[in-house]
Amino acid sequence: MIDILQWTTLAVCAVLAIARVPSALRGENRSLFFIFAFLTVAILLSIPAPYFAVDQALGGFNIANLILRYTIFGTILALGLRVARGFGADDALRLITGKPGIIVLGAASAAVLVVFLMMDTAGSSAGLAAVAAKDDHHDALVEYYGAAGRLYPAYVTLALLPAMLRTVASRLPLLVRLSAGLLALGSVAITLSLLSPVIPPELGFLRFVFNYSAILCMVVGLALIWLGKTLAKRARRKQTSLK
Q: What is the CATH number of the domain that holds 115?
A: 1.20.1070
The total of structural domains in the chain comes to: 1
Spell out the residues 6+ positions from residue 157 whose beta carbon is closer than 8 angstroms to its own.
76, 80, 186, 187, 190, 191, 214
Answer whether residue 65 is part of any domain: yes
Answer whether residue 212 is part of any domain: yes
Q: Is the pLDDT of residue 235 over 70?
A: no
Q: Is the pLDDT of residue 65 over 90?
A: yes
The domain of 21 spans: 2-232
Q: What is the pLDDT of residue 237?
A: 64
Integer Cα distance of 232 and 137 in angstroms: 56
Neighbours of 205 (CB within 10 A): 12
Residue among 52, 56, 73 nearest 129 (CA): 52
Q: How many helices (H) and strands (E) does the chain have?
A: 11, 0
Integer Cα distance of 140 and 154 in angstroms: 21
Q: Is the pLDDT of residue 232 over 70?
A: no
pTM of this structure: 0.86
Q: What is the pLDDT of residue 241?
A: 58
Collapsing DSSP states into helix, strand and coil, what is residue 89?
coil
DSSP secondary structure, 178-242, as one string: HHHHHHHHHHHHHHHGGGGGGS-GGGTHHHHHHHHHHHHHHHHHHHHHHHHHHHHHHHHHHHHHH
Q: Is the pLDDT of residue 243 over 60?
A: no
Please answer whether residues 91 and 162 qualify as being in contact, where contact means their C-beta atoms are separated by less than 8 angstroms. Answer: yes
219-243: burial string, b at 16+ Cβ within 10 Å, e else: bbbbbbbbebeeeeeeeeeeeeeee
Name, of 15-19, 85-89, 115-119, 199-203, the range with top average pLDDT: 115-119
Answer whether residue 17 is part of any domain: yes
Answer whether residue 238 is part of any domain: no
